[in-house]
């Protein structure tokens, strides 16, 4: 079952990456200044078929490998050495093949927590440890993914505390001359506030600006592991799980004069029915594949979107992912034809990013 899921994700990525020209730019695709759209995928450290997932990442020439790193699970005891085996395997593999890696850091252990959130010095020590151990592969750290939730931040979410920590981390990274980028937020869509557990992601982002982070966060990341509706469904202020919620994030950026900033979608999956039962129309393997292709097509066309990363290449055995196809040659040929511009049922993926397209208030191009 898991290998079938990997196979179907592979088809998506193969077609997408085949349509994006190689770049001679040294910066990893999607980074500020690269001018390129980056495509990535998550690899689960504790998932099955790790070796095969890494092989797929190489065969597909992925721009990024994303690694979720729960600090509490990886290093639960302060004075105990963690088991580096699998992380070493991923990082060494990526470094040898010049694939950029982003560690998505979350869930600080109790020994690294204060009442306001993660301890900044202990956090920097941990980031430094990762940077020193993996100087060739580690290019970015998503600083406490899901920071607008207790799950990601470790305690009551606080944009003020997050801004303070991020500022100090940025200062220390700069002072030490480390060649890693700090990615802000890892925000997950939240409509209603629950003061103790979660905060509306748009309000959280606004508070980051209010606390002076504009010039320190060239990249703001959002995670969309649960989506609903068609990829083209316009945001309405009521449902934050539409793919185009990224436009609402962008609007907050523009309202704060941050037009130069980039948005990364560091986790993306098609609708699985958990948000809206009407999403059953996307549940067939073919529909799920088409949803993801259309999503990546429109994401690549937005100049302010730097990277999009799909869910795990090696998902858990009990995953309910809709990425299941049974060698659907007809579907593969149809998607390939669309990418090459041979059919008009969907906009073909552009050959490289458009050079003159201006995105105003977050409205996608026609």
CATH numbers and ranges of domains, the chain: 2-19+37-339 (3.20.20.80)
**Is residue 92 pLDDT above 90, yes or no?**
yes
Among left, alpha and beta (phi > 0; psi -120 to 50; other), residue 49 is left
Query: How large a percentage of the chain has pLDDT more than 70?
Result: 79
pLDDT for res 290:
87
pLDDT for res 288:
84
Top pLDDT among 339 and 136 is at 136
Q: How confident is the model at residue 196 (pLDDT cuts 50, 70, 90)?
A: confident
H or E element, residue 201:
helix 201-210
CA dihedral 154, 158, 160, 163 (to 10 degrees): 40
DSSP letters for 242-304: STTHHHHHHHHHHHTT-TT-EEEEEEE----SSS-GGGGGG-SHHHHHHHHHHHHHHHHT-TT
| Whole-structure pTM value | 0.84
Q: Do residues 197 and 149 make contact, with C-beta atoms less than 8 angstroms apart?
A: yes
pLDDT for res 331:
36
**Is residue 11 pLDDT above 60, yes or no?**
no
CA atoms within 13 A on the CB side of 257: 6
Give the chain's largest Cα–Cα span: 60
Mean pLDDT of the chain: 83
pLDDT for res 251:
97
For 162, phi then psi, to 5°, come to: -65, -45
pLDDT in tens, 225-260: 999 999 999 999 989 999 999 999 999 999 999 999
The pairing of strands 305-310 and 262-268 is parallel
């Amino acid at each position: 079952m898991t290998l079938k899921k990997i196979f179907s994700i592979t088809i998506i990525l193969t077609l997408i990456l085949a349509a994006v020209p190689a770049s001679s730019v040294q910066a990893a695709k999607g980074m500020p200044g690269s001018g390129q759209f980056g495509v990535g995928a998550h690899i689960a450290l504790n998932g099955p078929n790790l070796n095969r997932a890494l092989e797929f990442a190489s065969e597909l020439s992925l721009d990024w490998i994303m690694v979720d790193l729960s600090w509490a699970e990886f290093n639960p005891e302060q004075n105990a050495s963690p088991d580096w085996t699998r992380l070493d395997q991923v990082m060494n593999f990526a470094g040898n093949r010049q694939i950029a890696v982003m560690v998505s850091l979350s869930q600080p252990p109790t020994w690294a927590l204060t009442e306001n959130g993660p301890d900044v010095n202990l956090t920097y020590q941990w980031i430094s440890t990762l940077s020193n151990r993996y100087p060739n592969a580690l290019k970015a750290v998503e600083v406490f993914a899901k920071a607008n939730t207790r799950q990601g931040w470790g305690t009551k979410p606080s944009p003020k505390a997050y801004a303070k920590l991020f500022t100090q981390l940025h200062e220390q990274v700069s002072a030490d001359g480390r060649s890693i980028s700090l990615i802000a937020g890892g925000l997950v869509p939240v409509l209603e506030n629950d003061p103790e557990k979660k905060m509306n992601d748009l309000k959280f982002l606004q508070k980051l600006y209010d606390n002076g982070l504009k010039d320190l966060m060239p990249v703001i990341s959002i995670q969309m592991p649960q989506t609903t509706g068609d990829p083209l469904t316009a945001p309405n202020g009521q449902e934050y799980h539409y793919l185009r919620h990224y436009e609402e994030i962008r609007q907050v950026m523009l309202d704060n004069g941050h037009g130069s900033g980039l948005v990364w979608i560091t986790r993306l999956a098609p609708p699985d029915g958990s948000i809206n039962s009407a999403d059953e129309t996307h549940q067939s393997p073919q529909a799920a594949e088409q949803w993801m292709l259309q999503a990546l097509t429109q994401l690549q066309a937005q100049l302010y979107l730097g990277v999009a990363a799909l869910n795990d290449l090696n998902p858990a055995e009990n995953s309910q992912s809709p990425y299941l196809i049974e060698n659907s040659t007809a579907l593969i040929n149809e998607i390939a034809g669309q990418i090459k511009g041979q059919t008009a049922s969907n906009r073909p993926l552009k050959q490289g990013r458009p050079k003159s397209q201006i995105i105003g208030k977050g409205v996608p191009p026609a």
